[in-house]
Structure 1
Amino acid sequence: MAFESLLNQVGVLGRFQIFQMALLGLSCLIIYPHIILENFTAAVPDHRCRVQLLDNATLSINDTEVFSQDDLLKIFIPQDSNLMPEKCRRFVHPQWQLLHLSERLSSMTEPDTEPCMDGWVYDQKTYPSTIVTKWDLVCESQSLKSVNNFLFMIGMLIGGIILGYLTDRFGRKLVFRWCVLLLAIAETSAAFVPTFPLYCTLRFLAGCFTSSILTNSTMLIMEWVVPPFQALGIVITASCSCISLMILGGIAFAIRDWFILQLVYSVPLFFIFLSSRWLAESARWLIIKNKLEEGLKELKKVAHANGIKNAGDILTMEVVRTNMQEDIEAVKMKVSMFHLFRTPTMRKRTFLLCFIRATASGVLGITGNIGGALGALLMVLRIYSHHLPWILYGVIPILCIPVVFFLPETRNQPLPDSIQNVENQGYSNLDGPKDTGMEIDTLSSFVSHAKRNLRIFGFPVDHHKQN
């Protein structure tokens, strides 16, 4: 966990960190809405069965000026308990006698009805088109909409497992860039596919890539800042995600066509991919993976971006090796996801968090995405009670609150780089917090770099001589 001392030498919160946060925050603004995009692209408008005699454009019954549209609906479409046209059934034969309700006998048997054999007619006042109207995902096929949402969340689950491993194997930046590109291709293609199964396949892949992008965005921020500013990084990504949802609501209000809305949030992903080349790979990951030269190169780039002079003299291979030797040795042993459960402290934390690297985030993502997938299926419970899914959504988080009290405090604590770090940190915490002087050094370094950045941007900075 000595990487923080290297960060202090290249700048704790300089221009580089601000640029990295801004770019990744912008990525979240575009990418996060893809999780709930189908709240609008898959909206269900009012609908009823199509009737050839009533809806055929070549016929014009109203030209006789005998029957109104409402009269014709009574003849062909049964009414529900609210005296509105049924959404999923129609009369087998026209019921002309229903126009004369006063003459209808109370003992008359109910007319025979049948499912919508010729498709549906949709109200286009609010939504000109959605994937529901494109593929008729209503009535007997309404569950397919929930299945599609379920597949997206399963994609996030599988993506958290596979791409989490690939992130630890090949690097955060590489996996991030490829996932952004593949997400752009998948979501743009989803706007043009001719069949619903192919659309579901692309949404499943989009879920895989979305999960990895959001995880790597957080890590590329967290692994380039010192502990006092890690919470700031989390707040930025979380705030950008929340802001993106508010923006989505406004854009979806202005753009009602699902095809255009899908492209509005898919095409900008190509620009995010092109701009991501300016991101820096995590030097922490490079050094832990024993890629010391590449890690040193990234550190020097960051020092130069932050205005640190003589970075080449300060940062040498020997300095990096000396600072990180213990952590490098600690991670030489090959570990898998199952090592998160082998040692006592890791097992405790993992279990609690399931009820900050990529493999661990992948495991936590598994439980979160399982919940997300089940959440989509919970909406089926509306068949029994309209309020039941919402009650479950509110009660379950409340029941999980006590778990937080068993987790360790992470405020101003360095990120562990290995399981051994976690175990040592866990046992040392039993003796209470220790003052290592890190916070004082970090604050002093931050003030120094802040003054330097102010001078760079032309702001006057008072200098006081020290005795």
Structure 2
Amino acid sequence: MAFQDLLNQAGSMGRYQILQMAFLLICNVVVTPHTILENFTAAIPGHRCWVHILDNDTVSDSDSGTLSQDDLLRISIPLDSNLRPDKCRRFVQPQWHLLHLNGTFSNVTEPDTEPCVDGWVYDQSTFLSTTVTEVWEETNLHMCFTSNGHHWDLCSFGSHLLHLLLTSLPERVIEWTSPKFKALVTTLTMCAYSFGSIVMAGLAFAFRNWHHLQLVMSVPIFFFLIPTRWMSESARWLIVNNKPQKGLQELRKVACRNGVKNSGDALTMEVVRTTMREELEATQTKTSLSDLFRTPNLRKRVFLLCLLRFSTAISFFGFSIHLQHLKSNVFLMQCLYSSVSIPVCVAAVFLLNHIGRRISQLFFCFLFGITILATVFVPEGMQTLRVVLITLAGANSAVMTSNNIIHSQELLPTVIRARALGVIGTAGNVGAAVAPVLMTLTMYSASLPWIIYGVISILAGFVPLLLPETKNKPLPDSIQDVENEWKGSRHTNEEGAIIKVTPF
């Protein structure tokens, strides 16, 4: 943890960190909204079976008489359990007698129905086209449950690849700042994400064709790869990976940009080797992925962080990518909860710095879960209350994710942090993949997936309590730092017990 002394000499929050942070925030505005872009590109519009008498342009008025569209729909499409036109079936023959039943179905033989063999008709009042409708038409397949479809093209693949590359930038910024600014940096990153989501909602409202929206959202990402070549590599990472000379060069470069005078005299190879002696000795043994699980304390941290990321990812993505299923205006809800997320994230900085990482995560995980559960049980007629609850849930999801990222980065040693975050990120990706699968449970109950999302979030809030507090503590540089911290805390507890017993 001695690197903090070197960083203080180069400047832990100067012009370099501010410029680096500004670049990161701009990247986040453009890049991170892609995680929830499928709310618009893969939306499932209202739809029904194509029927000859209703949708064939060659059918003349004389063929259907003077019947209205509603009458033609009634005789062509059966009603589902909610007394709405069925999305997956149609009558084999027009049921003319239904026009004269006046709402009573007694003593009427159940008419024969069939699947949508001729395709579907989609409601284009909200979206002109989505990946879901395109896949259905191309493959002649239809999923009669409310799960999001996934359709990849070259532009989408490229943007997601660049998204993975650019999302590694926050770790660089975190390692160049002092402990008291880490919460601020990560929170500002989430604020940028929220602002980007607002911009995305506006663009989605303007571009209703998914091809156009995907293009508008993806093309700008490619231009952000160019400035990354001028960003400094993490000196902390270089030193603990046995590259002290390159680490020293990066430290001097940052000191120069921060306007630190005589940095060449204060930052020398001798100073680096003396300050980071233990860390450099540890580099003689190369680290591997298996090192994450060899020592007890680090193994415990990685396991708990994986469990936390997996659980929160299920709840976060379950909520974020299924806004359309909450039966509210998806454009309005995306804009509302992203707008509220910004002041909530700023307020969360003070909470993080006053009550710590663990209690903050417990609080926001609980609040997120409770608001989701409350949304499920509020009647659809109370639309205003539902909008308020959805907005609060969205704001809480952003803060919950921010707190999780901060705690993960502060608990892992620099020498193996990238690998550890990769493992934890994989656990989060598995959770993100599980989230839409749970939506298939709507076949049994429309509320069941949302209840699961809420309960998982509440249970996940207890996991951070099993991890150490990291508020205002320096980042651990080596695996030994993590183990020494554990032993040190045990020694302190034992010493405290002895002191209490001695007077007696």
Bin of the TM-score, shorter chain as denominator length: 0.7 to 0.9
CA 65–105 in structure 1, closer or farther in 2 if over 3 Å, else same = closer
CA distance, structure 2, for counterparts of residue 26 and residue 213 of structure 1: 11
Matched with 1:306 is: 258
Residue 139 of structure 1: how far off its partner (Å): 7.8
Change (3 A) 1:288 1:62: farther
Pair 1:334 & 2:286 matched: yes
Q: Counterparts of 1:64-83 in structure 2 under 5 Å?
A: 66-83=66-83
Is the contact made by 2:147 and 2:436 (CA closer than 8 Å) also made in structure 1? no
What is the letter of the counterpart of residue 427 of structure 2?
T
Report the AA paired with residue 259 of structure 2. G
Matching residue of 2:437: 377
Taking a change above 3 Å as real, the CA distance of residues 60 and 432 of structure 1, as seen in their structure-2 partners, is farther
1:218 is matched with which residue?
170
Supply the distance in 2 between the matched residues of 1:3 and 1:326 (Cα, whole angstroms): 11
CA 348–230 in structure 1, closer or farther in 2 if over 3 Å, else same: same
Is the alpha carbon distance of 1:221 and 1:113 closer, same or farther for their aligned partners in structure 2, counting shifts above 3 Å? same
1:427 maps onto 2:487 in alignment = yes
Distance, in Å, in 1 between the alignment partners of 2:254 and 2:60 is: 73
Distance 2:232 2:23 in 1: 11
Gaps of 5+ in 1: 150-185, 191-201, 434-467
d(CA) in 2 for partners of 1:60, 1:247: 46
Which structure would you say has the larger Rg?
A: 1
1:15 aligns with 15
Structure 2: how far apart are the matches of 1:46 and 1:362?
A: 39
SS at match of 2:246: helix
Alignment partner, residue 354 of structure 1: 306
- What is the CA RMSD across the aligned residues, in angstroms? 2.9
Alignment partner, residue 389 of structure 2: none
SS of the equivalent of 1:272 reads coil
Unaligned runs of 5+ in 2: 308-408, 410-416, 494-504
- CA drift of 1:83 comes to 4.3
The question of whether the paired residues in 2 share the 8 Å contact of 1:48 and 1:86 is answered with yes
3-state SS, counterpart of residue 462 of structure 2: helix
Aligned to 1:124: 124
- Count of residue pairs the alignment pairs up: 383
Cα offsets for 1:60-89 (capped at 9, x unmatched)? 437976222222223322233454322111
Is 1:135 aligned to residue 135 of structure 2? yes
Residue 196 (structure 1) aligns with: none
Compute the displacement of 1:37 (Å): 0.9
Shift of 1:142: 4.8
Paired with 1:146 and 1:129, the residues of 2 have a C-alpha distance of 14
Q: 2:188 aligns with which of 236, 250, 264?
A: 236
- Paired letter, 1:96: W
Structure having greater relative contact order (Cα 8 Å, sep ≥ 6)? 1
In the alignment, residue 275 of structure 1 is paired with which amino acid?
P
Q: Which residue identity is paired with 2:42?
A: A
Task: Give the residue type in structure 1 aligned to 2:436.
Answer: A
The CA deviation at 1:327 is 0.6
- Which residue is 1:416 aligned to? 476
CA deviation string 1:194-222 (max 9, x = no partner) = xxxxxxxx4xx8666645542x2221111
Q: Which moved more, 1:6-15 or 1:224-233?
A: 224-233
TM-score, structure 1 as length reference: 0.74
Correspondence 1:55-454 to 2 at 5 A? 55-61=55-61, 66-101=66-101, 106-136=106-136, 140-142=142-144, 145-146=147-148, 148=150, 189-190=155-156, 202=157, 210-211=163-164, 213-214=166-167, 216-355=168-307, 356=409, 357-432=417-492
Displacement of 1:361 in angstroms is 1.1
Distance 1:233 1:262 in 2: 29
* CA distance in structure 2 between the partners assigned to 1:102 and 1:309 by the alignment: 89
In structure 2, do the counterparts of structure 1 residues 428 and 15 end up closer, same or farther at CA, with 3 Å as the change threshold?
Answer: same
- Deviations along 1:361-415, whole A, 9 cap, x unmatched? 1222232222222112111111111111111111122223333223222122221
C-alpha distance in 2 between matches for 1:406 and 1:112: 59
1:231-289 C-alpha deviation (Å, 9 max, x unpaired): 22222223322333344334333432222221222111012212323322111112222
SS, match of residue 266 in structure 1? helix
Contact 2:292 2:420 in 1 (8 A): yes
